[in-house]
Amino acid sequence: NAGVTQTPKFQVLKTGQSMTLQCAQDMNHNSMYWYRQDPGMGLRLIYYSASEGTTDKGEVPNGYNVSRLNKREFSLRLESAAPSQTSVYFCASSDPTGRNSPLHFGNGTRLTVT
């Protein structure tokens, strides 16, 4: 059972470089999310996708773009990386038919921007 798969696990970028974080889930979930986790803070929502074909901004969307490629895949793109984007990024999915349904998380991507 793969669940939610994120790639890469680690990445180092220089300021101004671009990259795409990939996420795929095999649980047939409609909703997918991208979070960032910084020391001393809870997870903060960057973008989410309620269903295939839709995306919406979360709490901290600036500097990021997303693509919901199909029901399985939801990618996060940094067009011009900045040191402030150094963080651990998590992709998650859920089946929102039950409002208490939990989020299922990937293992995270540790991104360092120098």
Partner 1 sequence: AQTVTQSQPEMSVQEAETVTLSCTYDTSESDYYLFWYKQPPSRQMILVIRQEAYKQQNATENRFSVNFQKAAKSFSLKISDSQLGDAAMYFCAYRSMDSNYQLIWGAGTKLIIKP
Q: Which residue has the tokens 């963080």?
A: 87
| Token pair recorded at residue 85 | 């984007």
- Of 17 and 71, the one with the shorter C-beta distance to partner 1 is 71
- Of 17 and 37, the one with the shorter C-beta distance to partner 1 is 37
| Number of residues that this document lists for the chain | 114
CA angle 77, 45, 91 (to 5 degrees): 60
State in angstroms the smallest separation of the CB of 41 from partner 1.
6
Binding mask 35-74 for partner 1 (x = CB under 8 A): -----xxxxxx--x-x-----x-x----------------
